[in-house]
Amino acid sequence: MGRTELRLGELSIEGFSRAGDETWFRVHPPGLAFDTGRGARELGGARDVFLTHGHLDHALGVPYVLSQRSQHENGDTRIVCPMQTVEPLAALIAAAERLEATTYRYDILGVQPGDRIEAAKNMTLEAFPVDHVVPGVGYHLIRHKRRLRAEYRDTPEVDLAAMRERGIDHSETTEEIALSYCGDTGPAVFDLEPRIFTSRVLLIECTFLDARQRAHGDRYKHLHLEDFEPRQDQFQNSAIVFHHLSRRHSEAALRTAVDQRLPALAGRVHLVVGST
């Protein structure tokens, strides 16, 4: 089973994802990790790890990543996770430190929906609410840009330069959601956080395909392909990355289902499902 690499606009996304097996992503820039799977070597360079929830297919790798980073003296690591996950995750890390008779250099930051964390000079992460069976959050990767204020758009450059010399600032900061990552979630996420429809790149799970598994999606709070069908017209994203496919489905079955049942999205859908 192999990892996948995607280049989507200015972002490079590397990852592996299968429901119940493991899910992790590495996103450049800024070089952060979203979830850790069961411990992926590819995450050793990530200073920041943004964890969506505590299920072990996403979180078990946290101590492994910290262990790898301390062996290679990669410096401090920031682990960001839902507020309710901090205490049990700290206990898991502490147990790993005892097993290895060492200490890792890390901080854990608990977040709630709406909290923001700076990840790079022009990039901020914002937590948003999701709908899962354990405490969870998704994350928006927000890019900040400077641009000329509207009232100066027709001003000749020579005049702008003269004003700059007098200390007048013509610019303003704007924000765009470069990427949204939902982690594991049921369909309530579409109402809880409609901004996911507007991000340039949307990483969203699609665990189940068949009518037989309709109840599974409801019970375990995962998305079913059916959840996308009535909402196809709402997705304004340039790219949509489906991941977290159940092991009972093949990548080819997901691709066929997307082509047949989501015609408005099919041309923008990429798959990270761990080839089988």
Binding residues (CB under 5 A) for Zn ion: these are: 55, 57, 184
Q: Angle between the 61-71 and 86-100 helix axes, to the nearest 10 degrees?
A: 50
Q: Which is nearer to Zn ion, 170 or 248 (CB)?
A: 248
Output 57 or 193, the one with its CB closest to Zn ion.
57
Least distance in angstroms from the C-beta of 222 to Zn ion: 8
Q: Distances from the Cα of 267 to the Cαs of 82, 237, 275, in angstroms?
A: 34, 11, 20
For the purposes of burial, counting CB atoms within 10 Å of the CB of 268, is it exposed (0-12), middle (13-18) or buried (19 or more)? middle
In contact, 226 and 237? CB cutoff 8 Å: no
Cα end-to-end distance, the chain, whole Å: 5
Min dist. Cβ of residue 180 to Zn ion (A):
17
Return the number of the residue (142 or 223) whose C-beta is nearest Zn ion: 223
Q: How far is the CB of 189 from Zn ion (least distance, A)?
A: 13
Residue 184 or 227: the one with the smaller Cβ distance to Zn ion is 184
Q: Find the shortest distance in angstroms from Cβ 272 to Zn ion.
A: 13
The alpha-carbon radius of gyration of the chain (Å, integer) is 20
d(CA 83, CA 136) in angstroms, rounded, equals: 9
Least CB distance to Zn ion at residue 59 (A)? 9
Residue 60, Cβ neighbours under 10 Å: how many?
16
30 or 217: CB nearest Zn ion: 217
One-character DSSP codes across 44-67? TT-SEEE--B--HHHHTHHHHHHH
